[in-house]
Structure 1
Amino acid sequence: MNVQIMVTVSGSNQTDLVKVLSEKTHALDGKWLNSRISHIDDYFAGLIKIEIKAENVETLVNEFKALEIQVEAVEQGSVSQTRSTHLNLSIDAKDRPGLVSQISQVLSENSIKVEDMQCHRLGLPDIGGTVFTSQFKIAVSNSFNKEQLISSLQEIDTDLVIDLRAQA
């Protein structure tokens, strides 16, 4: 019987690591259903949804761990089929401590699921400071109130530039 597992991997980057992980999965008759791999400096983190025979799960996890990376695998339970609308949210502002925390709090208070988040701080010598820029992919329920979210975000700081639109 095939099962679906969610595997989280992280550690120092290694040459051809994604290739090796995928080959090990394929060798055990598994297949990647979805994956997300990111690098920051010389560190990587990945989230991989795999379909594989139940009897091969332990072997796959052990083979991944043999690569001297951190590995966690969780068998997928039943997935909720609630309908969501997917949106892109961009927020730019003059950088200051606590912005990510405050934005995350507002998203949580508005029952918004963050599916992907990328935040960057850019030093701009011309303005003598740092700019915060972020892109979120979010999922909202049918009862989502766009104006309420924007108003709540603007309460964080009046200089936030907010762009909210449907995912393409």
Structure 2
Amino acid sequence: MANSIILTVTGKDRPGLVDDMSAIITQLEGNWLESRITKLSGNFAGIIRVSVPEQNTEQLEADLKAVECESFHLSIELQNSVEADVPVRELSLEIIGPDHPGIIRDISHALAEKKISINEMLTDCNDGAMSSERIFSAEINISIPIAVSVDMLRDKLEDLADQLMVDISMDDLEGTVTRI
């Protein structure tokens, strides 16, 4: 039987970091299943899900911990069970507008109020092309319970877009894009 393990990795980036981790996982008959890895301000940040034979789990944890050092931190969590699937609809949100504190707080709060989960979120902040104003952008993939009305969500996001002075587009991942 195989165990599913979630690795959270942060620290100073260096060439070969992913190679070191993947070699340990493979050596212990593990399988790298999925990951999200990025470089933020010169730092490595990643979350990785691996599968490893039950009898190799402790050795995997020990070997990966041996890679850890002062500038590289690793958290290992054994994934005990998977929650029962609740029927959901996946949507993608794109947000763009003048940057100011609280955009993520307000959007995440509006989604949480409706029991909508954030599956993935990419954010950025850059200087505007035509001005020195900072422009915030986000791409957010969400899961909406089937019981939640997409029209109700659209209305909520429309009100929020007006309050935050941002543009929000909603894509149902089947090709229908709604500009809010």
**TM-score between both structures, scaled by the size of structure 1:** 0.90
Alignment of 1:3-152 (within 5 A): 3-67=3-67, 68=69, 69-79=72-82, 80-124=84-128, 126-152=130-156
**Deviation per CA, 1:23-63, whole angstroms, max 9, x where unpaired?**
11000011111111111121111111111122222221222
Aligned length: 168
Over the aligned positions, Cα root-mean-square deviation in angstroms equals: 1.7
Q: Does 2:168 align with 1:162?
A: yes
- 103-112 or 142-151: bigger deviation: 142-151
**TM-score between both structures, scaled by the size of structure 2:** 0.85
**Following TM superposition, by how much is the alpha carbon of 1:114 offset from its aligned partner in structure 2, in angstroms?**
0.5
Quick one: percent identity of the two aligned structures?
Answer: 26
- 39-48 or 123-132: bigger deviation: 123-132
**Following TM superposition, by how much is the alpha carbon of 1:125 offset from its aligned partner in structure 2, in angstroms?**
6.0
Task: List gaps (5 residues or longer) in structure 1.
Answer: none
SS in 1 for 2:160: coil
Task: List gaps (5 residues or longer) in structure 2.
Answer: 175-180
Partner amino acid, structure 1, of 2:78: E
SS in 2 for 1:78: coil
**Deviation per CA, 1:88-145, whole angstroms, max 9, x where unpaired?**
1111122111111111111111211101111111212623412111100111111122
